[in-house]
């Protein structure tokens, strides 16, 4: 019993290196490969929308799929899971954050012209991606001594990624019809994964969808306000985290005083920081 409690595993170094290098190579190629942009024009509720798909967009989708498939590949070599007949859907929760991480890394990389800033984001993204893979690997084994730390770390990483995504989208100056789907999808995935972690493996699709819709409405209201990218990101992060925390606490307690303390404090702190920063 003691051996089970104290055990801990790390992903195979060769597999982890190949997986991370393949994903990052995809982003590196976008600086050297140029493919004509595909344009699609259509009408939606009387509004003419011109959608452009370029090579960078395609690469972002591909690397997100690679990250999801890659964590599944790493988990199939997990010593605690080998020979257990673990079905693919058991690994599904572990796909969300690696895919989101790979996608979010691409947003600033695709919008930076190059130079030192591009390489800094590239290096930080590399480290972040490896940390996410290692944390998800630790979560696969309930007896891993790093699991509590992995849960806290992944929750923090999820909302950090969300903040970076909101800031990067604001910096890119995208149109609202492009901003809204990206933020709503990211909110849904971050909330869904966080609630799954905090509630011990329970899916709360309805809560995640409701939170995503609420944040989408807030994003519409903030879109045309003269907010800096950091303020804009923090203004979305505050309610996203507060509502996610509220949903998690409601699943574990029926005392409103306990339920409201953490979400309220975090919302005040994050929005206070947004007001204080210029």
Each residue's pLDDT tens digit, 37-75: 677 676 666 666 666 677 777 888 889 999 988 888 888
Each residue's pLDDT tens digit, 128-153: 888 888 888 887 766 667 777 888 88
pLDDT given for residue 220 in this prediction = 94
- Of 187, 114, 115, 198, the C-alpha closest to 155 is 198
Does 191 have pLDDT greater than 90?
Answer: yes
The answer to whether residues 270 and 238 touch, using CB atoms and an 8 Å cutoff, is: yes
Contacts of 137 (CB under 8 A, 6+ apart): 9, 10, 11, 71, 74, 75, 78
Report the alpha-carbon distance of residue 126 to residue 238 in Å, rounded: 27
The conformation of residue 89, written as its DSSP 8-state character, comes to G
Q: Where does the pLDDT of residue 255 fall: very low under 50, low under 70, confident under 90, or very high at 90 and above?
A: confident
Contacts of 86 (CB under 8 A, 6+ apart): 75, 76
Average pLDDT (23-35) is 79
Q: pTM for the whole thing?
A: 0.82
Report the alpha-carbon distance of residue 62 to residue 110 in Å, rounded: 14
pLDDT given for residue 218 in this prediction = 95
88 or 1, which is more confident: 88
**From 180-184, 251-255, 273-277, the region with the lowest mean pLDDT:** 251-255
The answer to whether residues 132 and 104 touch, using CB atoms and an 8 Å cutoff, is: no
User: Could you state, in order of their start, the residue ranges of all structural domains in the chain?
Assistant: 1-145, 162-278
pLDDT given for residue 3 in this prediction = 44
- Of 154, 158, 68, 168, the C-alpha closest to 118 is 168
Q: What is the dihedral of CA 174, 177, 178, 180, to 10 degrees?
A: 100
* Chain position carrying tokens 């498939």: 69
Compute CA distances 262 → 204, 251, 269, whole Å. 19, 14, 11
């Amino acid at each position: 019993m003691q051996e089970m409690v104290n055990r801990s595993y790390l992903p195979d170094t060769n597999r982890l290196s190949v997986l991370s290098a393949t994903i990052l190579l995809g982003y590196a190629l976008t600086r050297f490969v140029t493919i004509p942009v595909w344009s699609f024009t259509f009408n939606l509720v009387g509004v003419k929308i011109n959608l452009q798909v370029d090579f960078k967009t395609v690469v972002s989708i591909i690397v997100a799929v690679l990250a999801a498939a890659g964590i599944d590949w790493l988990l199939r070599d997990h010593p605690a899971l080998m020979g257990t007949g673990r079905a693919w859907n058991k690994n599904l929760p572990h796909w969300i954050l690696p895919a989101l991480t790979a996608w979010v890394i691409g947003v600033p990389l695709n919008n930076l012209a190059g130079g030192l800033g591009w390489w800094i984001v590239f290096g930080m993204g590399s480290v972040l991606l490896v940390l996410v893979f290692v944390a998800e690997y630790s979560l696969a084994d309930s007896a891993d001594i790093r699991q509590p730390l992995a849960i806290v770390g992944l929750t923090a990483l999820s909302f950090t990624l969300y903040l970076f995504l909101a800031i990067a989208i604001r910096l890119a100056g995208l149109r609202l019809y492009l901003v809204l789907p990206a933020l709503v999808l990211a909110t849904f995935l971050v909330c869904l994964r966080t609630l799954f972690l905090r509630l011990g493996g329970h899916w709360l699709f309805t809560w995640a969808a409701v939170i995503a819709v609420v944040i989408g409405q807030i994003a519409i209201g903030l879109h045309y306000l003269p907010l800096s990218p950091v303020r804009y990101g923090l203004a979305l992060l505050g309610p996203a985290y507060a509502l996610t925390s509220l949903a998690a606490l409601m699943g574990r307690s029926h005392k409103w005083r306990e339920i409201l303390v953490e979400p309220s404090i975090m919302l005040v702190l994050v929005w206070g920081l947004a007001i204080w920063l210029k």
